[in-house]
Amino acid sequence: MDKAFVVGAINAFLTGETGVYAIEGKATGFVTPGENLLLTDPGKDKDRVHRVTVTKVCLRRGKELEAVSKAGECNLLIYFECEDSLSLRNGVVVHSESAAPEEIRKAYLNVLGNVFVVARDLDLNEKDYKNLELSDLAEIWMCFWRYQLNKSNKKDDGDKYSKRLEGLMDAVCTKLFELDGLNVVYSKRTNEPFMFNRIINHKDKAYSATMPDIMVLTEAVTNRVMAEFDPELYEVRHISKDNMVPFLGGCFYINGAAGVRINNTDVRIPAEMLVEKPEDDGTEAGNISNPDLVKWILLLNQMADAERNEESVAFGIYEGYMEAELMKAKFLIPAKDEDGKLGVAAQNGRGERPAARLYTDWGKLRLLYDPSWACLVQTLEEAEVSYDAIINYTGENRMALYVSEEDFNRIKAGFVKK
């Protein structure tokens, strides 16, 4: 079986003929005039694929172009007709229908790397940023870092690349807010955006965890990326454009995400570049939020059942960080006047003591308690004087954190030792 024809556009341009376009690039497989092919723009979220008919194939002979009856496995130009109006740019790929998605993606990435990293040295201008999509920018970023790992840099390259990467990050932020909404990877277990982080293995069997990010996927890559994830644990939810800023603010300053990761790459935007931290409203209760605690609770709760055991390095790290934050946190406890006495929201505990319901923030509390409920602000130690604690109960015990008197005493003893 003949190899499928694939060529990524190093150059793409209009010709003098109406409805005729041309691209130049290095091809795999062979092509002849008259063939019907597909044009795919892998970085675009919409209007990605068009049918085209090849009208001419040319090879460069010095400054001249020579029309040939067949060419392939080399640098070439192909001219083609398309009934649709096309907006061509670097990275579009013309290919046979039989070409595998991996071949198309490889051609696309080769163009982005060769044009914007190798040839342009990441020196992008406003016109480039206008033409590039968020998916393109993320891939260029990754191409740059892979390229840097394989070359020896001059000592003065640091400042140059720092400014260029800063421009690239600014463009990524701008493009993110230009999207029609956010496709966010969610945890099916927690019903919250999945928290992505890494466990770092240091020397002497010491481990640490990076701060977690949420992940946003462009339409262009959603199906490909989600095919890599376990459908029992992950799903994609769409956040409307109007709700993007409050949604991100909640992820950062309530749930504790450190930033946004783009398209399952190492490209990430720090939280503070996207949404400012809310201002203090001047009251103790009004400012209660515990992102430094919530992130570890979410990381624990989103783990698959098979990973939730004492032998899991990640489980041990998350639990250790969470317990340390439990001792620092201030919680909201729903309370109401009952016959002249202030009663707190509580339920039957796991032992003899009742369990008071504690909340890390107002949003979770208001899922069950309307504004007729007042609130106490207490630490876990203050609450545990009379009660066990169940933290962030919103109707499902499995996702709430239960802290018994015995648990608390163990955590406190460990915290004091540190």
Q: Rg for the chain (alpha carbons), in Å?
A: 28
pLDDT surpassing 90 at residue 1: no
pLDDT band at 202 (very low <50, low <70, confident <90, very high): confident
Measured in degrees and rounded to the nearest 5, phi and psi for residue 107 equal -65, -40
Interval 148-176: pLDDT, tens: 888 766 656 778 899 999 999 999 999 99
pLDDT surpassing 80 at residue 282: no
Interval 64-83: pLDDT, tens: 999 999 999 999 999 999 99
Mean pLDDT value across residues 329-354: 91
To the nearest whole number, what is the mean pLDDT of the chain? 93
- Residue 155 confidence (pLDDT): 59
Q: Where are the domains of the chain?
A: 6-100, 120-177, 181-274, 286-417
Query: With the C-alpha atoms ordered 165, 166, 170, 171, is the resulting torsion angle positive or negative?
Result: negative
pLDDT surpassing 70 at residue 418: no
- Residue 281 confidence (pLDDT): 72
Tokens 């172009």 belong to 65
Q: Which amino acid is at 389?
A: A
CATH superfamily of domain region 6-100: Translation factors (2.40.30.10)
pTM over 0.85: yes
106: left (phi over 0), alpha (psi -120 to 50) or beta: alpha
Tokens 């067949």 belong to 70
Answer for the pair 293, 308: CB distance below 8 angstroms, yes or no: no
Mean pLDDT value across residues 375-396: 94
Answer for the pair 165, 273: CB distance below 8 angstroms, yes or no: no
Query: With the C-alpha atoms ordered 415, 256, 262, 220, is the resulting torsion angle positive or negative?
Result: positive
Burial of 100 (0-12, 13-18, 19+ CB in 10 A): exposed
CA–CA dist 57, 272 (Å, integer): 50
The DSSP bridge partners found for residue 388 are 355
CA–CA dist 418, 412 (Å, integer): 10
CA–CA dist 148, 63 (Å, integer): 33
Percentage of the chain modeled with pLDDT above 70: 97
Interval 12-39: pLDDT, tens: 988 888 889 999 999 999 999 999 999 9
Structure tokens at 173: 């932020």
Interval 249-261: pLDDT, tens: 999 999 999 999 9
- Residue 286 confidence (pLDDT): 72
Mean pLDDT value across residues 196-223: 94
Interval 87-128: pLDDT, tens: 899 999 999 999 999 999 999 999 999 999 999 999 999 999
- Residue 163 confidence (pLDDT): 93
Mean pLDDT value across residues 298-317: 89
Q: Compute the residue count for the chain.
A: 418
The set of residues, in sequence order, having a beta carbon less than 8 Å from that of 166 and lying 6+ positions away, is: none
